[in-house]
Structure 1
Amino acid sequence: MRRRLIPLALPLTLAGLVLAGCAVTAQPTGTAQSAAASSVETIGDVDSTIPAAAAELLAANADGTVVRDDEWSVADAATVTLEGSTASSDSAGVSVDGSTVTITAAGVYRLTGTLEGQVVVEAPDDAQVVLVLDGAEIDTVSGSAIQVVTADDVAINLAAGSTNSVSATSSADADASAAIHADSDLTVSGSGSLTVTDSGNDGISATDDLAIIGGTITVDAADDALRGKDSLVVEDGTLTLTAGGDALKSDQEEDAAQGYVWIAGGTIDATAGDDGIDAWTDVLITGGTVSLATEDDGIHSETSLAIAGGEVTIGRSYEAIESADIRIAGGVTLLTSSDDGVNASGTTTSDGGMGGGGMQDSGETLTISGGTLVVDAGGDGLDSNGTIEITGGEVTVYGPTAQNNGALDSNGGITVTGGTLVAIGSTGMAESLEESSAQGWLAATASGSAGSTVQIQDADGTVIAQYAATKTFGSVVFSSSAITDGQSYTVTVDGTSTSVTAGVAAAGGMGGGMGTRR
């Protein structure tokens, strides 16, 4: 069983904070004073405001590193003036060789001006280095524009009111494969703006932890926009990301405690040629506003994926979210996909059967316990190679029009014990809930088109629920606390009514009925 500790903590939202300072040996920087000690923030007890579905995963992840703005002072900064093809500084921690500026000591450095060259950090392994970009423009035609070769923790702070830019043409085959590349932990903070362009590979990349805790950041990258190999955490800031590959990525494959992406706050608007968010282990969203448009998965993780807060909108995707263990526990999630909307898959590598993956329960889980989830899928709406369990929340699924997929699709059965579920889709592969579901449900063969009104009434004619369809459909599955098994209900579509008995599958779906598992 994996045992991991929680990553980067949020002091405003998570309780039980423990700061474990890691001593840093300060080196002389001329006019700059030594940098403050870096710190790793950990949590003993996760705040109860975070739903358990996500808190469990957070408590299992490895520590992340962040350099907070209160750990250093801009008053201590040594000034580095960028002057076209060269630069100048009075600091003993700065050397200039042609168009290459090298920082060799711990400390705070304020960069201003324009440089057609590179800024390189080669500080001691235990050094904390803070680069304050204050009206800085750094461009290079080869390699990284800002490269951290050695240091313990590095921060890039965007000075208040400043506009900064970094551009490069890095190579995926090079040691430094991003416009901003750090072989260390890297934090981006501040309230200024930063535009990063890399026409060769990644935008901002760290081989350890990458934390974004502030700033207005625009990245346009040939491959990945933001990549933290050990972890990628976004706590605050306004991010506009354009990526030929993944927009946000963590890909540490050697440690099950790392390789995660955590979105805790901020605003993210991302367009990706591959995945919007991609993690080797877990993806966790507990806050913020995330808007994604992708050519492949909107959000993909190999292990677990939890949405427990914030607002997530995936306006374009092949599959909107995919993982072996998917947990929706809070927030507002709006998904649009050309194939599956929510796909719990990946525990096994077998392929085949109806639409791939076979028909056996292979252990994947899709659990919905809270929040609002709306799915508009060209393929299956909610799909699990294992089970689907709904215990709370508001779930609305507008499923496929084609008959080879269904609004609901599971290999291990669907159970509902709380919340509200409506699934409107085609009839060919339509699936109903398990008879063992504690909450009442109904299923009806009822046809309509985009704009049709679907109304559900009890025996007294009281309207229990009403929905507006987004596309052509032939089946309706509904479950809420207002439904009682064995009772009669009426499903009306544009004035045409169908009487159904709660807990009884409609005729015509998969296997001669709507796939009720017995």
Structure 2
Amino acid sequence: MKHQSPLRRRLSAAVAASAALIVLGACGTSNDEASNASATTSAVASLASLDDTHADTNDGEYDVDDATRIDLADGASSASGSGADAVRTTGDLVTITAPGTYLLSGELTDGQVVVSSSADGKVKLVLDGVSITSTTTSPLVVEESDETVVILADGSTNTLADTATARATDESADESSDEESDDPNATLFSRDDLTIAGTGTLRVAGNTNDAITSKDGLVILSGTIEVTSVDDGIRGKDYLVIEDGTITVDAQGDGLKADNESTETSSGKAKELGWFQLDGGTVTIDAGDDGIDAEGALNVTAGELTIASSVEGLEARQITLAGGTVDVTASDDGLNATAGNGGEAVQDGVLLSLAGAEVTVAAGSDGIDSNGNAVLSGGSVTVHSAARGGGDGSIDVNGTFDITGGTLVATGGLSGAPSADSDQGWVVASLETTVATGQQLEVVDAEGTTVASHTATQETSSLIVSAPGIEAGATYTVRAGAAGELADVATATANEYAGGFGGPGGGRPAGGPGGGSDSGPGGERPEGMGTPPEGWTPPDEMGTPPEDWTPPEGMEPPARQ
């Protein structure tokens, strides 16, 4: 069985995505195309590869004849083969103590398999029709190992489950220490690097906490993995990389997670913040919190990613969607690039890069939200926000949002716009009438040529569009309605937005945080408003303060009436 990393062979196709917004007019010059390709290639080149992880492309390979066989059975588990001396059986606890390949089959209704290998070398666990349940702890635990590979045998179905009993949580820690506990907190738990490979099926039920967790790196090379969890679904602390496979996650917490928060190590060498990368396969997530949450980078280079339900869809300091298809449904923000705290300041090192993927977002709040900068250099992006004001909308970028290529259509709440000096033109329009779901929207230039069109996926009264052929400073008309019955609903000048964004990077409407409709930035009194004259008292309708009210120092209270 030979498995090759899909990463490199897919990079050349990272910018090939079908557009949800159909570009009908001029497609740009060859210079534009070269510029867009350069920007996209640069973004892809900065992504990780399998070489940046512990895993190898051939980790899923093994020789059945050389494997040590472990037959699991309640009260009667046994080992046979050349490595049988490295297997200890105590009741329904099976412990593997040395590197090698172990072929497991059978069932433990209340037992555990533990890997405890201090020697250099990989421990390969081939699961071939395994079912392990534990009522007291994690059924499969890697206590110590140079590296462990869980291989799903071809045609096999394997099940791991715990029961809802008291056990460590991922937030637990020694009361005398600030260090996070590394007690087993998942049904499949590893303290060291973990790889999952093979062509079989693995079903994991996390009835107490997480389903699959590695305290170091976790790489999924292949296989069909079905996960349910009362907390997080699949968690790799240092990194979580999916090369291929079919992964389904139903988690009450985060769906997928890479949560290393510290760049310091005991050796003094720098360490990356937790990062995630999808290089292929099909991933479907239903999450009670974030669909995917990474402390550092979150990258998609290929494959199909569907966040069917979540609070926030994708959240990380840096999000790069360079290829494949990404479909996000979120009750709050859809794509959220953030350093972890809110506010309107531009956060250093925070970037959302849309560089070749086919992206669809349906969000209850912000569709595209970056607390730093954002860039669209390729691919297609379709966003709808259900927000209606309050600073939330389809686009919310604290810094610059530069567009150099690709296509964008955003509907629903209107809170921001791309940068005015973007290389590629864009149009923002508040529509004179509400466009119903299923109706058509078209952007038409002064000569009557349709440069872009879109079918509304939800009701909207605003539109943001960017596509090759839209030129800064030119006037465009937006038409909408049922097919064949379109009417003019807005006129706009490309790369201009009257909503109050300041500077090329955009911003927020006047008033600032804490300000009202007639207050200046930051809530200060606008110049020229003046101050009340000496002796001025408030009108009667302002009322009087309560009996026990004390005025601030230097302020005289109004006379009581």
TM-score (norm 2): 0.71
Distance 1:136 1:511 in 2: 59
**Are residues 1:75 and 2:71 paired?**
no
CA shift in 2, pair 1:423/1:10, >3 Å: same
Corresponding residue for residue 340 of structure 1: 333
CA shift in 2, pair 1:402/1:223, >3 Å: same
User: 1:25-424 alignment to 2 at 5 Å?
Assistant: 51-58=41-48, 62-66=52-56, 68-69=58-59, 72-90=62-80, 91-115=84-108, 116-169=110-163, 171-172=167-168, 175-255=183-263, 280-346=273-339, 349=341, 351=342, 357-358=343-344, 360-363=345-348, 364-404=350-390, 405-424=392-411
- Larger RCO, structures 1/2 (Cα 8 Å, 6+ apart): 2
Distance 1:256 1:52 in 2: 29
Deviations 1:305-361 (A, max 9, x none): 2333222222222222222323232222222222222222226x3x5xxxxx13x33
Distance 1:415 1:381 in 2: 16
- Local SS of the residue matching 1:58: coil
Q: CA deviation at 1:466?
A: 1.6
Deviations 1:371-414 (A, max 9, x none): 32222222222222233322332222223351222222222243
CA shift in 2, pair 1:151/1:59, >3 Å: closer
Q: CA deviation at 1:471?
A: 2.9
Q: CA deviation at 1:172?
A: 1.7
Q: CA deviation at 1:59?
A: 6.2
Corresponding residue for residue 420 of structure 2: 435
Deviations 1:466-506 (A, max 9, x none): 21223332222222221223333221122331463533646
Letter in 2 for 1:223: D
CA shift in 2, pair 1:126/1:467, >3 Å: same
Judge conservation of contact 2:259–2:295 (CA < 8 Å) in 1: no
Letter in 2 for 1:502: T
Distance 1:152 1:504 in 2: 55
CA shift in 2, pair 1:397/1:204, >3 Å: closer
Judge conservation of contact 1:442–1:500 (CA < 8 Å) in 2: no
Distance 1:122 1:175 in 2: 15
- Local SS of the residue matching 1:330: coil
Unaligned runs of at least 5 residues, structure 1: 1-8, 16-47, 258-278, 352-356
CA shift in 2, pair 1:390/1:68, >3 Å: closer
Correspondent of 2:487 among 481, 484, 496: 496
CA shift in 2, pair 1:293/1:493, >3 Å: same
Correspondent of 2:451 among 452, 459, 464: 464
Distance 1:297 1:52 in 2: 28
Letter in 2 for 1:442: V
Corresponding residue for residue 20 of structure 1: none
Distance 2:89 2:502 in 1: 77
Q: Considering only CA atoms, is the larger Rg found in Structure 1 or Structure 2?
A: 2
Judge conservation of contact 1:506–1:514 (CA < 8 Å) in 2: no
Corresponding residue for residue 8 of structure 2: 14
- Local SS of the residue matching 1:309: coil
Letter in 1 for 2:106: G
State the identity as a percent.
38
Paired residues in the alignment total: 446
Q: CA deviation at 1:75?
A: 0.5
Deviations 1:198-225 (A, max 9, x none): 3222323333332222332223333333
Correspondent of 2:434 among 437, 440, 448: 448
Distance 2:506 2:60 in 1: 58
Q: CA deviation at 1:60?
A: 11
Distance 1:421 1:70 in 2: 40
Distance 2:186 2:507 in 1: 51
- Local SS of the residue matching 1:14: helix
Distance 2:151 2:228 in 1: 20
Distance 1:425 1:514 in 2: 23
CA shift in 2, pair 1:255/1:112, >3 Å: same
Distance 2:503 2:242 in 1: 46
Deviations 1:407-453 (A, max 9, x none): 222222433232222222345x3x33433222233332213233232
Letter in 1 for 2:409: V
Judge conservation of contact 1:505–1:516 (CA < 8 Å) in 2: no
Q: CA deviation at 1:70?
A: 6.5
Judge conservation of contact 1:444–1:505 (CA < 8 Å) in 2: no
Distance 1:484 1:499 in 2: 17
Q: CA deviation at 1:457?
A: 1.4
Distance 1:515 1:472 in 2: 28
Distance 2:221 2:185 in 1: 23
Distance 1:209 1:385 in 2: 28
Corresponding residue for residue 23 of structure 1: none
Distance 1:514 1:126 in 2: 55
Judge conservation of contact 1:398–1:469 (CA < 8 Å) in 2: no
